[in-house]
Amino acid sequence: MILTADSEVALRTNRRRANEGWNTVFLGSNRFTHKESDPVPEPGALYPVAFLVEKEAGAVVRPHFHHAEQFQVVVGGSGSFGTHDAAAVTVHYTDPYSAYGPIRASDEGIQWFTLRNGWDPGARYMPTYRDELRAARAHHQHREATAAPQPALGEAELRRIAKVECVPVMAPAADGMGAWRYRMPAGASVRGPDPREGGGQFWLVLAGRLAADGSAPMPVNSCVFVAPDAGALIARAGGEGAEVLCMQFPVRARH
């Protein structure tokens, strides 16, 4: 299974007003779009979710945790994730039942993607859910990783790329979790990491345009999900080149 989401389509059709900002679902559903009558995926089921959060100036998200592992990618504005400064492009990862935060928006606001490979019922805010978090420690490790901000390439910088470049953002862990940043000249193709080494991958377009799995070249903030059994993704840069982030979830028993 390979799924693609064009950012222009998602923002035109799925952008909704949310707490202190906006929320746009690209793939799957979250608490803003899930209806009570909709079935909930079984625990452990592969269920890709991608949405863009746009927070207004000064907004604060209290410390919390989730039931699903997730990547978060800051693509605009600035602020902080806990003790870490955040701006475009910051990559943040948490395991299930790993509390983090608060998330604070600066005076210019902050925008980030949340990317998951499993269903999550919503944030569990501290200290209300502290007992649930303590009970989960018997089965879940705490893991939080943050890569320092590195801006996306501008148009001129992208045009100067002469060959495909791959830079590790988060070195692969023993369980497969990792992230890589690819820079590609116009028309170049890249073969991604083997998704069988992890629990699925999200690819996010940072600059230029990218075609994947037969799609037309997709603009900045478009995303692709690659299931563990889908085979390595073959992606091609558009006429202006492309910069793209590949994030791989850890191996986890799923059905």
Q: What is the pTM of this model?
A: 0.92
Q: Are residues 184 and 135 in the same domain?
A: no
Q: Are residues 131 and 183 in the same domain?
A: no
149-172: per-residue pLDDT in tens?
Answer: 999 999 999 999 999 999 999 999
Q: What is the DSSP string of 68-114?
A: S-EEEEEEEEEEEETTEEEESSEEEEE-TT--B--EEEEEEEEEEEE
26-67: per-residue pLDDT in tens?
Answer: 998 876 676 666 777 777 788 999 999 999 999 999 999 999
CA-CA distance, 202 to 70, in Å (whole number)? 10
Domain span at residue 223 reads: 155-248
Q: Are residues 134 and 176 in the same domain?
A: no
Beta bridge partners of 116: 49, 70
pLDDT of residue 190: 95
pLDDT of residue 192: 94
pLDDT of residue 197: 92
Regions of the chain with pLDDT less than 70: 31-32, 34-37, 253-255
Domain membership of residue 74 (yes or no) is: yes
Beta bridge partners of 52: 24, 113
C-beta separation of 189 from 217 below 8 A:
no
Q: Are residues 32 and 112 in the same domain?
A: yes
pLDDT of residue 137: 84
Q: Are residues 122 and 162 in the same domain?
A: no
Looking at 147, 177, 201, which one is the last position of a domain?
147
pLDDT of residue 255: 41
